[in-house]
Amino acid sequence: MEKPNAPATERNRDAIHEVIAELCSDDQNEFQLFEIGSGTGQHAAYITPQIENLTWHVSDLEPNHEGIKAWTDDIDKVLGPYSFKVGEHNELPVKNVDFVFSANILHIMHWKLAQQMFKVLSQSLESGSLVLFYGPFNYRGEYTSKGNERLDQWLKERFKDGKSTIRDFEEVNLNMSKLGFILQEDREMPANNRMLIFHKL
């Protein structure tokens, strides 16, 4: 199969690599990362070969698996793709993961599904695990840039059922904290995106 291309991954992959490499900086340890909504698998394909002590488990809905395989099949430490659909699966298919990473998913899925995902994470992860959400967020109900405002308008036009919209950082933080996570870091990323890093208590 020809490799599908998500051009945004080429713009944000170095910044995402930097965060994940920092989290794996203890080279005496092996780290397991589970990704929700891997899309094309390009983040895994770019980042995993650069971090020796990292294994990356990719997942998405089945129609995306062929594309993910085209990017990752020949990379030893990328495992999967697993079928993992929030709303259908109530636990992560991989146990004892150190990190769950998900990029550009919270503004796509229905808020009820996002809350369901938080619950699955809370039930599946051990104390000390980290959850990393990459993407655009609003703060106190305000866009952080004109670009994010345009993206939100596009989401509302494209998905007229109203399920897709940029989420409020405060809502995500509140829901995660009710489920036993504390915000470890809210890092600025390129193009008005953020990396929210939550720590499971």
Ligand X SMILES: C[S@@+](CC[C@H](N)C(=O)[O-])C[C@H]1O[C@@H](n2cnc3c(N)ncnc32)[C@H](O)[C@@H]1O
Q: Which is nearer to ligand X, 26 or 161 (CB)?
A: 161
Q: What is the DSSP letter of 126?
A: P
H or E stretch covering 9 = helix 7-23
State in angstroms the smallest separation of the CB of 61 from ligand X: 5
Nearest one of 181, 86, 81, 184 to 126, comparing CA atoms: 181
- Asked if 67 is part of the footprint of ligand X (rule: CB under 6 A), the reply reads no
21-40 residues near ligand X, rule: CB under 6 A: 36-39
Closest CA to 24 of 57, 58, 47: 47
Give the CA angle between residues 152, 198, 147 to the nearest 5°: 20
User: Interface with ligand X includes 105 (CB under 6 A)?
Assistant: yes
Vertex 37, ends 53 and 143: CA angle to 5°? 105
Among 15, 24, 75, 108, binds ligand X (CB under 6 A): 108
Length of the chain: 201
Q: Is 93 in the site for ligand X (CB under 6 A)?
A: no
Query: Of these, 23, 34, 60, 65, which contacts ligand X (CB under 6 A)?
Result: 60
121 binds ligand X (CB under 6 A): no
User: Which amino acid belongs to residue 40?
Assistant: T
Which two structure tokens, joined as six digits, stand for 82? 């697993």
| One of 86, 94, 114, 151 touching ligand X (CB under 6 A) | 86
Q: Which of 23-31, 72-80, 99-107, 157-165 is the region at the interface with ligand X (rule: CB under 6 A)?
A: 99-107
Residue 50 neighbours by CB distance under 10 Å: 12
Considering only 103, 125, 132, 197, the residue that binds ligand X (CB under 6 A) is 103
Give yes or no for residue 164 binding ligand X (CB under 6 A).
Answer: no
Stretch that binds ligand X, among 46-54, 59-67, 124-132, 173-181 (CB under 6 A): 59-67
Q: How big, in percent rounded to 5, are the helix, strand and coil portions of the chain?
A: 40, 25, 35
Residue of closest CB approach to ligand X: 39
Interface ranges with ligand X (CB under 6 A): 6, 9, 36-39, 60-61, 64, 84-87, 103-105, 108-109, 113
